[in-house]
Amino acid sequence: MASKKDMRRPDLIIPYQEPAAKGETGDLQSTIASTLPMAAIFMRNRYVGWAAFVFSIQSWLGESEDSKKSSSTPGYFSVGMACMASLLRPMLQTDN
């Protein structure tokens, strides 16, 4: 039969310690700067395109050394995408 005695040893209990935060986990501004150009192209809206350009310039100028190392795309890439979206929008405009 099974023993009714508690087999857990109190000397082996390790108290829970919350892990340390890694600092900044996400960068919302660079996410917006990289998705707004696509939204400007899809919506064919010039104001969204110019907002994307402003956000991408701000994101590029506000990059820190840590964000440059952890980022998958450089800041000037989002500026280029915003310029392309702003210049491509008039080409996509159709007259009905």
DSSP the chain: ----S----GGG-----PPPP-S----HHHHHHHHHHHHHHHHT-HHHHHHHHHHHHHHHHT--HHHHHH-SS-HHHHHHHHHHHHHHHHHH----
pTM for the model stands at 0.58
pLDDT of residue 93: 64
The residue type of 56 is S
Residue 35 has pLDDT above 80, yes or no: yes
Min mean pLDDT across 22-26, 28-32, 55-59, 81-85 is at 22-26
Rounded distance between C-alpha atoms, residue 89 and residue 40, angstroms: 7
